[in-house]
Amino acid sequence: MMRLRPLVLCVLLALAVAYYVYTPLPENIQEPWKLMVVSAGLRTSLHLASLIHWLGCDHYIRSIRQLSDSFPGLTNVGDSNESGGGVVPGVKVSDTTFAGVPVRVYEPPAGGEGHLRRGLMYFRGGDWFLGGVERPSNDALNHMISDELNTVVVSVEYRLPPDVHFPVPFVDCLTAAKHFLSPEVLAKYSIDPERVAVAGASLGGNLAAAVAQEISTDDSISVKFSIQALIYPMLQALDFNTPSYWQNQDVPLLYRPFVVSFWLQYLGADTSLQPQLLVNNHSSPHNSAITRELRARYDWTVLLPFKHKKNHKPVMTKKGSPGLLKEVPALLDVRASPLLAGTEVLAKCPRTYVITCENDVLRDDGLMYARRLQDTGVTVTNVHYEEGFHGCFSFTVWPLEFDVGRRAVRGYINWLQNNL
C-alpha cells in the first residue's frame, strides 16, 4: 500500500499538469500540443506578473517581460545555427542611435563601395507579452535578411509602456525613420534610396503603418519608403467585437481582454475602463465624435469578405459612454490607429505586404487595412495563413519551431526579394 502512494501522487500530478496545459484550440491549428505548452508557459508568466503587481513589487507589464525572459526554452530561441536560425557569419551588427533613438544595425557581408544595397527598417512586436521570444527571434531573422538579400537592416528599440505611453513609441520610430531616410545616412551605409522598406509585427506593424503614412505625406522628406510589410498588425481600437475578436478571443497567444488592457496601457489610460471598451461603449452610434465617414473606415460589415463575416452582427450599444473619447482622445488618433486614416493619406502609401492569420484576434484589422489600401489604388499582397496564430512569426527555431511560422517567414523574405 505504501508503494502505491508515490505512484498515485505522480498520476495525480501528471493529470493536474495536463489539465493546466490543455487548451481547446481550433481544428486547423497544426502542432496543437506544442502551442498548448507555449501558452501554458506564457499564462504562468501572466499569473505571476499579476501577483507581483498586486504585491506592489513591480509593474504588471514589466514583470511579464522579465518572467518570459527567464521562461525555459524561450531565451535561447535564435541562438543556434540549426534550422536556419542564429547568427550569420559575416553580418556586422552594431548598436548605435539614430537621432537619439537606440537602434541595432545589421550590415551584410556583400556589397561595398560602388554596390548599392537594400535598406529595411524593422519595428519588432511589442514584447510586453512575448518578451524572451521576440527579441532573439527578430535578431535571427534580421541576420538572415541582411545576409540573403544584401540588405542593411535597422531594428528600432522604441520605448514601451509602462515607462512611456503613446505617442512616445510612435515619435521614437518616426524620428529614427527620418534619420534613416536622410541622404547622408543612406550614403553612409551604401543603400539605394529607391529600395528602402519599413516593416513590423503586431504593435510593430501598427508603428510601421503609421510611420509609412507620415513619411508618405510629408513633402519635406525627399526619400520615401518604397514598400511596407505588416505582419498581423494591430490597427484600431474602436471595435473590439469584430468577427475575429469574437472567434479567437480565447485562442493563444493573444487574448481579447488582454489586447484591450494593453491598448489602455499604451494610450496611458485607466485600465479600469476595460469592461466598457470590451462592449464598444466608447464607439456607440450616438457618439458625435465618430462621424459616419470615420465609422466607414473600420466598418467590417463592408470591408470584410463574407467568409470572414459569416453570421456575426455588429456590437453597438444604443447609448454608450460618449465621455470615454474625451477621457481617452488618443482612441481617435490616426497615429495610434492607422486604419482610421483618410483615403487621401492611404492613396500615397507604398506597395504593401500584409500577413494575416485565421486564428488571431487581429486578423480583421489586417484584412480591413488591405482592402482600404486596395480601394485607393495601392498594390497590396495579402497572404493569409489559415492555420496561423498570433505570434507564429516568432516561432521558427527549435525547440519552439512551428511549420506555419517558418513558412510565414520564408514567404516574407521571398516577397522582399521580389519587391524591394
List active site positions.
Answer: 202, 360, 390
Pair 357, 392: CB distance under 8 Å? yes
Coil, strand or helix at 155: strand
Rounded Cα distance, 325 and 287, in Å: 9
Q: Maximum CA pair distance of the chain? A: 83
Instruction: Kindly give, in sequence order, each residue whose CB lies less than 8 Å from that of residue 235, ignoring residues fewer than 6 positions away.
Output: 205, 206, 209, 337, 338, 339, 362, 365, 366, 368, 369
- Residue from 333, 348, 130, 316 nearest 232 by CA: 130
Per the DSSP assignment, residues forming a β-bridge with 198 are: 121, 228
d(CA 282, CA 245): 17
Report d(CA 20, CA 14) in Å as an integer.
10
DSSP assignments along 98-147, one per residue: ETTEEEEEEE-SS-BTTB-EEEEEEE---TTTTTTTHHHHHHHHHHHHHH
Distance CA(300)–CA(314), nearest Å, equals: 8
- The length of the chain is 420
Q: What angle do CA 165, 169, 171 make, to 5 degrees?
A: 115
Contact 334, 360 (CB under 8 A): no
Element (H, E) at 203: helix 203-217
Query: What DSSP line would sit under 334-387, residue for residue?
Result: TTT-GGG--HHHHTTPPEEEEEEEEE-TTHHHHHHHHHHHHHTT--EEEEEEEE
Cβ–Cβ under 8 Å, residues 103 and 136: no
Judged on CB neighbours under 10 Å (0-12, 13-18, 19+), 320 is buried
Asked whether the bond before 6 is cis by omega within 30 degrees of 0, the reply is no
* DSSP-assigned letter for residue 281: G
